[in-house]
Amino acid sequence: DPVRYISNHSSGKMGYALAAAARDAGAEVVLISGPVAIPAPSGVEVRNVTTAADMLQASSEAVDAGCDLFIASAAVADYRPQSCEADKIKKTSEQMALPLVRNPDTLATIAARADAPFTVGFAAETTDVARYAIDKMQRKKLRMIVANDVSVPGLGFNSDNNAVTVFWPDGQASIGPDSKQRIADRLMVLIGDHLDQAAG
Ligand code: CTP
């Protein structure tokens, strides 16, 4: 309704740090961002979106325009409310159920394209991190996946620090704990090496 929304603990800091790292590595960067409370890095083109559908559209357009590397770190809601009320919902009964419907998956849609760029996903997990991340990489047909355990206090969601493990089909590497910017810089080197190998 016009007063309330459902959200999550993601701050966008990891994605913004990656955009800055890619810019510093010499890339032309398009940063497609949901609503966040942090300033965008300078020197990158920002496309602001609010819904998962808008994120998919903006991403598809950016890939259509030509893109070598697609990194998806946004914590997109897997579901959205089935309907949006024009006026504030008033409380009536003791319980209420809010029907939710599935959102489109930007990462899986981009990775499934015949002309897919080198695609890297993120997996925020609270348990069985490696197993879920590798499963996600295979299911969404990704070249690499960056996994983090969001159950560790002081790391990940909303924090300036993080620790990640990156998986690719025949290897893995752990980075951190460190600041999100330093992790982003090291991730960009690792991703760049794999991108170069893929390009031959
Ligand atoms: N993602 C996306 N679009 C969505 C949901 C997720 O592009 N609608 C991307 C995220 O940016 C991230 C990856 O998919 O790179 C993992 O998201 P997650 O929601 O954890 O994965 P799921 O496959 O939905 O797995 P599960 O819900 O089982 O954890």
Ligand 1 contact, 103 CB (< 6 A): yes
Mutate which of 14, 16, 73, 105 for ligand 1 pocket (most atoms within 8 A of beta carbon): 105
What does the alpha-carbon distance between residue 144 and residue 123 come to, in Å, rounded to a whole number? Answer: 11
Residue listed under structure tokens 């016009």: 2
Distance from Cα 156 to the centre of ligand 1, integer Å: 16
Closest CA to 143 of 193, 186, 77: 193
Mutate which of 70, 100, 107 for ligand 1 pocket (most atoms within 8 A of beta carbon): 107
- The pLDDT of residue 83 is 95
β-sheet bridge partners, residue 80: 101
Q: Is 8 a catalytic residue?
A: yes
What does the alpha-carbon distance between residue 114 and residue 44 come to, in Å, rounded to a whole number? Answer: 27
Query: What is the pTM assigned to this prediction?
Result: 0.95
Residue listed under structure tokens 């790391």: 155
Distance from Cα 105 to the centre of ligand 1, integer Å: 7
* pLDDT per residue as tens digits for the range 32-64: 999 999 999 999 999 999 999 999 999 999 999
Q: Domains in the chain, please, with CATH?
A: 13-199 (3.40.50.10300)
What does the alpha-carbon distance between residue 19 and residue 147 come to, in Å, rounded to a whole number? Answer: 18
Ligand 1 contact, 70 CB (< 6 A): no
Task: Count CA atoms within 13 Å of residue 26 on its CB side.
Answer: 2
**What is the dihedral sign for C-alpha 183, 57, 116, 111?**
positive
Ligand 1 contact, 180 CB (< 6 A): no
State the helix-helix crossing angle for 180-199 and 13-24, rounded to 10 degrees: 50
* pLDDT per residue as tens digits for the range 131-186: 999 999 999 999 999 999 888 887 777 788 889 999 999 999 999 999 999 999 99
